[in-house]
A and B are shown apart, each in its own frame.
Chain A
């Protein structure tokens, strides 16, 4: 969906997995929305969940690009479910919520 400065998308996937006598029905949701204040300044909201891999994540990314492609960005992220360190422990996709915040700065320059 593209409406003015807002671009948004939503993706849904239904999986029916049959293995011997077992059947798994899983859902996957992936959505994101980007609001562009200017062509070089934007905020993106990302929400994803997958009941097959039992993981989910919500993330907000704000970035501003200036000069010779220098960028400052703030990433706020909360993930849950089965990650590398607790894979196979029986946790559901909404368990073990883990919050991280990253402030990053990249300086761009060109010698030419």
Chain B
């Protein structure tokens, strides 16, 4: 979606020269180690970022420990680092995991990696996906997650929760219902809707509900119908209806 569109202040222009080098070695059974190097030179200060990443699996690849460490260096801005560690479990009916991200205030993410710096983020998630196979339903998907991000002084940036239930029907149609409560601490005002609306800084208690249904895939005609409604404690509300074929 939105091909050819970019965010304001993209930090990178068409006049820049960017180089990305990626090396990865797989050992089999999901184990791997890799390295990434990114460099930008041109309209602004010279920028360099490097990262090492890897994954180690156990118990027939059901338990996976992965992560990466990255550092950036920008002319005139000093160096900064960030780290990510993931521990996930995946079996046929049950999946769970935890992700931890620590981004230093001085890390420069101008070519990617993270949308925010100076935060510590922890994400717990779990899902139960049993095959039911009765007359109507083939498989159920029940999932929930908690994502908490704080500033480095432990003050909250946001707490986001997800409670979802979906069903794959016997004819391969897919029905989904989801609740997304959240608490957001907006530190600086920002604009949306082509800068026609300014969302002020402050505390926002959010609640979003979503419902969608997809017709069976790989047919001559496929369809999707979705409805999202959300509101906040600050008087902002939205309803979104979407349909596709």
Residues of A that sit less than 8 Å from B by CB: 1-3, 9-20, 22, 24, 26, 30, 46, 48, 50, 52-55, 57, 59, 77, 79, 81-84, 87-88
In the complex, the answer to whether A84 meets B8 with C-beta atoms within 8 Å is: yes
Q: B19 contacts which chain A residues (CB < 8 A)?
A: none
Residues of B that sit less than 8 Å from A by CB: 1-10, 191, 193-197, 218-222, 224, 235-245
Q: B221 contacts which chain A residues (CB < 8 A)?
A: 1
Q: B8 contacts which chain A residues (CB < 8 A)?
A: 84, 87
In the complex, the answer to whether B242 meets A12 with C-beta atoms within 8 Å is: yes
Contact of A20 among B6, B10, B235, B239 (CB under 8 A): B235
In the complex, the answer to whether B194 meets A2 with C-beta atoms within 8 Å is: no
Interface secondary structure of A, over-half rule: strand
In the complex, the answer to whether A59 meets B3 with C-beta atoms within 8 Å is: yes
In the complex, the answer to whether B242 meets A24 with C-beta atoms within 8 Å is: no
In the complex, the answer to whether A1 meets B222 with C-beta atoms within 8 Å is: yes
Q: B224 contacts which chain A residues (CB < 8 A)?
A: 11
Q: List 10 A-B contacts (CB under 8 A).
A: A10-B244, A14-B240, A17-B238, A18-B236, A24-B197, A48-B3, A53-B193, A55-B2, A84-B8, A87-B195
A14 to B244, CA, bound (A): 12
B110 to chain A, nearest CB (A): 15
In the complex, the answer to whether A88 meets B195 with C-beta atoms within 8 Å is: yes
Most buried by A among B5, B191, B244: B5
Q: A26 contacts which chain B residues (CB < 8 A)?
A: 193
In the complex, the answer to whether B236 meets A54 with C-beta atoms within 8 Å is: no
Q: B235 contacts which chain A residues (CB < 8 A)?
A: 18-20
Q: A19 contacts which chain B residues (CB < 8 A)?
A: 197, 235-236
B10 to chain A, nearest CB (A): 7
In the complex, the answer to whether A16 meets B1 with C-beta atoms within 8 Å is: no
- Given the known inter-chain contacts A30-B1, A84-B10, A87-B8, please indicate yes or no for A24 contacting B193, CB distance below 8 A: yes
